[in-house]
Amino acid sequence: MKYKKQLLVMVSLSLFVILSQCKKNDTHMDEKDDPALISQGKQIFRDDTFGDEDFWSGLLHIDKAIAGAKNGGFGAGVSPKTALAVGLKVDAEALPPEVVAGISSGAIDLNDPATTLTLLKLNAVVGVKGTFSSSGSLKSIGITCASCHSTVDNSFAPGIGKRLDGWPNRDLNVGTIISLTDNAQPVANLLHVDETTLRSVLAAWGPGKFAAVLFMDGKALRPDGSVAANLIPAAFGLKNIGLTTYTGWGDISYWNSFVGNLEMHGKGTFHDSRLNDPVKYPIAVENNFGNVINTPDLITSKLPALKSYQHSISAPKPPAGSFDKAAADRGKGVFLLKAKCASCHASPVFADNILHDASEIGIDDFEAKRSPTGKYRTTPLGGLFTRMKGGFYHDGRFATLNDVVNHYNTFMSLNLTTSEKQDLVEYLKSL
């Protein structure tokens, strides 16, 4: 009798969540796949800089830092070895056979910045686009969506392999890359700090993190003094997800426009009156970030195709042998019933498209209050295995899945046994 009651509760809960989720997502569920639009979006995702070269090269001179003094720039330059060390990736499928052979044999020097320039000419550096003069010298570089939201499978060598679009690049050290500039003062001025302070903040981000809202509200640190940077999120498994960011700023097209205009520094049109609040977003107000107009607009017309491609990327399945299947099967029952995970993380997207107060999930509201919503969204759990590096939650505060489970076990008084917690972790690894 007890088993029947549990089964009835589980079925009722699942039906309720699925039906409510379908209702909230009906506009997404009706979306039709258009192969031509998806293909166009793939090209935009991988190769379109939205005209951001004026920022990365014109203002920050990152192109000159990459080239080095021997190749028309300044400093030592950035070799492939250095680029890989800061998390940039190389697309092995863009390499011609002679380059593959040269890297394999050691004939091609991966410690030479000139080799980096060759890789840029081959369009082999994931998410970084180089423009070259007729004489072959590097004129400018720009970044694309893929710089943060793609990685490679390491099938050729660490950091070199086939592209994995949508996977978060948790190796990418954005702060270190920005710090290559010899002209940091304009960014420091924007944030009303000196250059030394700016470089200290950039160094504190570390791999796989970026402080997007810093350039809206100027808050580099949390109240406890720790760095206020968030993990680069996944860009897969989002087709039926209405709230794309950790704190639900908007849907995927909104966020693509936000990032394309305000973080990548492309040239488009962007309007969000919420950023016109001088108390909450003083940096945004000073720089009119809520009312961006560029002619021509190099972003807005590309948003539908970009969304279609991102929505076509399903959450990847974990590799065989990466979790204990028997334990995961038991953990699924814990997930659905005793741990109550499915009340928010409902299949098939493992999310509820609902914004939650910080008090509902047992954490502080610092990051939530920085957003217009004041809340946190439920993160989709599909493909968790791609996000093991850097920790969990928006800021990586929980180092492991065990830490996440222990947090909820305590906060929600779940009274999970040690074996139940272990099984639940294996189930999460299987998603």
Domain ranges of the chain: 2-30+319-430, 35-43+237-312, 49-205
Burial class (CB in 10 A: 0-12, 13-18, 19+), 410: exposed
Tens-digit pLDDT profile for residues 46-91: 999 999 999 999 999 999 999 999 999 999 999 999 999 999 999 9
Per the DSSP assignment, residues forming a β-bridge with 143 are 128
Average pLDDT over the chain, rounded to an integer: 94
Cβ–Cβ under 8 Å, residues 312 and 33: yes
Cβ–Cβ under 8 Å, residues 162 and 153: yes
Nearest one of 178, 170, 263 to 208, comparing CA atoms: 170
Question: Averaged over 218-227, what is the pLDDT?
Answer: 96
Tell me the C-alpha to C-alpha distance, in Å, between residue 115 and each of 32, 77, 118, 161: 43, 11, 5, 17
pLDDT value at position 31? 54
| pLDDT for residue 2 is more than 90 | no
- Kindly calculate the radius of gyration of the chain based on its CA atoms and give it in whole angstroms: 23
Q: Exposed e or buried b for every residue in 362-401, given b needs 16+ CB within 10 A?
A: ebeeebbebbbbebbbbbbbbbbbbbeebbbbbbbebeeb
**Residues 221-224: contacts with CB within 8 Å, 24+ apart?**
222/366, 223/366
pLDDT value at position 33? 85
Confidence band of 256 (pLDDT split at 50, 70, 90): very high
| pLDDT for residue 21 is more than 80 | no
Distance between start and end Cα atoms, the chain: 31
* Helix (H/G/I), strand (E/B), else coil: 362: coil
Question: Averaged over 20-24, what is the pLDDT?
Answer: 40
pLDDT value at position 323? 98
Cβ–Cβ under 8 Å, residues 51 and 267: yes
DSSP for 194-223, written as a single string: -HHHHHHHHHHH-TTEE-TTHHHH---B-T
Write down the residue that tokens 């950035």 correspond to. 78
d(CA 145, CA 261): 12
Tens-digit pLDDT profile for residues 333-376: 999 999 999 999 999 999 999 999 999 999 999 999 999 999 99
What backbone torsions phi and psi does residue 7 show, to the nearest 5 degrees?
A: -65, -40
| pLDDT for residue 25 is more than 80 | no
pLDDT value at position 201? 97
d(CA 112, CA 301): 39
Tens-digit pLDDT profile for residues 173-197: 999 999 999 999 999 999 999 999 9
Q: At what angle do helices 325-336 and 2-24 cross, to 10 degrees?
A: 80
Nearest one of 251, 249, 252 to 290, comparing CA atoms: 249
Cβ–Cβ under 8 Å, residues 381 and 350: yes
pLDDT value at position 334? 98
d(CA 417, CA 46): 46
For residue 350, what are the contacts with CB-CB under 8 A and spacing of at least 6?
380, 381, 382, 431
| pLDDT for residue 275 is more than 50 | yes
13 Cα distance to chain centroid: 31
Tokens for 396?
Answer: 């990586």
| pLDDT for residue 213 is more than 60 | yes
Going by CATH, does the domain composed of 2-30+319-430 fall within 1.10.760.10?
A: yes
Cα torsion angle, 280, 277, 191, 396, sign: positive
Residues composing the chain: 431
| pLDDT for residue 32 is more than 90 | no
